[in-house]
Chains A and B, each alone.
Chain A
Amino acid sequence: MRKFLVTRVSSLLLTLFLIMTITFALFRLMPGDPTLAVFDDSMSEDDRERVRELWGLNEPLHTQYFTYLVNAITFKFDRSFISGVSVQSIVAEKLMNSLVLMGPALVLSVVIGGIGGALVGWKRGSLLEKITVTVTLGLRATPVFFTGIMIAMVFAYQLRLFPSGGMMEPGSNLTAFQALSTKGFWLRVPLPLVTISLYLLGGPLMLMRTSILEVKGEDFMEVHLAKGLSEFTQIKHAARNAILPMVTYVAMMVTYVFHGQVVIETIFSWPGIGRLLVQAILDQDYPVAEGAFFLMALTVVIMTFIADLAYGSLDPRVVYE
């Protein structure tokens, strides 16, 4: 077990290191000067040079790389080029905004998808199964921005039930947790939440359905049937075994939460981390972009590790030497 932990952790660290190197390389390769976003012709060349010095852009590439790695390890990413605010606070704030939307969406889709998938898998071949599977696949096949546009069109523009965008009342400057108590927030959450959940439903549902199908044919299920258990109890027993692939899948879905849903955030003007990252790339705001990328990579690595451990502890057939 110890050997497994050590090898696994070291390979995950290697992955993290690779991701960071690749993103760093791509950024520094990008043509264009970050100072252009903040300077114009009326400012002197000297000031420009000083800012470049300040931002560390004049250092040779390997020095910049080294500083970058040190920053990542100590979690101190300096300040944004554009706004001057520290990267930690920007990233943390936007991350909270994303989490507050994606967290519930994730829970909803896993719970509904899981239960729905189990039921549908149990009743294989019935009309319910055919309809549910087609509808779910249809939702998954529709590009998420199209569902979003449809929902916004109907509920926000035509019926005028919900506001069409943003996270809070315009002009308020609250953090995500403070916003939880405002009415503006709760009016704006449902539409993006429903859009994302509808899209994400498909994965857990189809996965649960497949695993239930595989478990249903096992010998021990026949024993339960012979014992005369109610159908609900049988489904419960089957579901317990079918949950295993879900563990890995849910871990992957958590990484989606941290990767941010750029498209949804664009349509509903939600100030989340996906949009932050895209904006930082377009503005050539290296510290923010690198900080956000690092956070996402770190999350993936941690979640993969947790998923491995959870899978190993849940399934007694899996033995890690």
Chain B
Amino acid sequence: MPIKNVLHGIRKSQTNVGGWLTSLENPMNWIRQDLMGKVSGIYLLVCFFIAAFGPAIAPFKPFEATFHENGEVVRMEPPSGQHIFGTNHLGQDILSQMLHGARITILVGVVAAISSAAIGTAIALLAGYHGGWLDQVLMRLADVAYGVPFLPFAILWVALFGPRMSNIIVVISLFLWRTTARVVRSQVLALKERPFVLAAKAAGASDTWIIWFQILPNVLPFSFLYASFGIAWAVLMEANLSFLGFGDPRIVSWGQMLKVAFQAGAMRQAWWWIFPPGIALSLLVLSTFLVSRSYEEAVNPRLMER
């Protein structure tokens, strides 16, 4: 067998051991191979594009009531030429609300996911590597995050600190970090005993060096993975919170639209108001799930060969 193949095989089998670059290399190839992953990835890019440029291309402002020629408010109109998605009970254009809301929904999801993954990874590194009482205390904190029900606590939080978007992102992150922390911690525990770490220790490397240059690059794939799952969960959590009425009332998000629709009794006829935000939310979360899953196939070697 040519030497190149053998070396390539050895390298491939050691996907979990390596520096910063290898941790990013493999997943990109896998996402390109998986059809569902590709389609979802493209959809996500479209969503991000809308989030960035939506408000600029929206025909109306989200809270602006539109009027007929005779001065009447355009209430609860089904889709028409002027309002592609129709209007709601206050005459506001639904398409514009969707375009504005995309930015908020996605922003909350992404920021909450990234911050929770960062917090979770940091805590897991500390807890897993140092062990002992630090591990116990931090894991107790994680148990607390599991033990408290999300919605009631988030409502309490919002009642205390105000329904601003930043508070919502904070409280979502407070619940999301626990999953990342658990998974990364078990990885750290496994990595800690690997020969290359022990060799570095014997050679005199400090704990900080080992954590930063040996452990962290090898747990980063898991952090990314749970960050991307986290986007899905954060979007759902924000939607649930907004639906109950505890979102930021000054801005529009897709969950907020559904809340107003539900409270206005639109369930009975206004399908054009209910479908767009609901379906958009579902598609966003679904495509995030699918992209994360195809990424997971790359990161979890046990799933790779089956």
Residues of chain A touching chain B, judged by Cβ–Cβ distance below 8 Å, are: 11-12, 14-16, 18-19, 22-23, 26-27, 29-31, 124, 130, 134, 137-138, 140-146, 149-150, 152-153, 157, 210, 213-214, 216-217, 252, 255, 259-260, 262-263, 266-267, 274, 277-278, 281-282, 289, 292-293, 296-297, 300-301, 304
Contacts and interface: CB of A to CB of B under 8 A. Distances in A.
A141 B153 CA distance: 23
Interface string B241-270: 001100000000001001000100001100
Main secondary structure of the interface of A (DSSP, over half): helix
Nearest to B271: A153
B240 interface: yes
A301 B149 contact: no
Contact of B151 (A26, A267, A278): A278
Nearest to A140: B289
Interface in B190-245: 232, 236, 239-240, 243-244
Nearest to B261: A149
11 contacts: A11-B140, A26-B153, A141-B288, A143-B236, A143-B258, A146-B258, A146-B281, A255-B147, A281-B152, A297-B147, A300-B143
Contacts of A301: 143, 147
Given A30-B156, A141-B289, 19 more contacts: A11-B143, A23-B156, A27-B156, A138-B286, A142-B281, A143-B285, A149-B274, A149-B278, A153-B271, A217-B305, A260-B149, A262-B151, A263-B151, A266-B244, A267-B262, A281-B159, A292-B152, A296-B148, A301-B143
A277 B152 contact: yes
Contacts of B283: 141
Interface of B: 36, 136, 139-141, 143-144, 146-153, 155-157, 159-160, 232, 236, 239-240, 243-244, 255, 258, 262, 267-268, 271, 274, 278, 281-286, 288-290, 293, 302-303, 305-306
Contacts, number: 149
Given A19-B148, A137-B290, A153-B267, A281 B258 contact: no
Given A145-B243, A157-B268, A296 B149 contact: yes
Contact of B160 (A14, A26, A141, A252): A26
B41 to A, nearest CB: 15
Given A15-B143, A217-B306, A260-B149, A30 B159 contact: yes
Nearest to B147: A300
B278 A304 contact: no
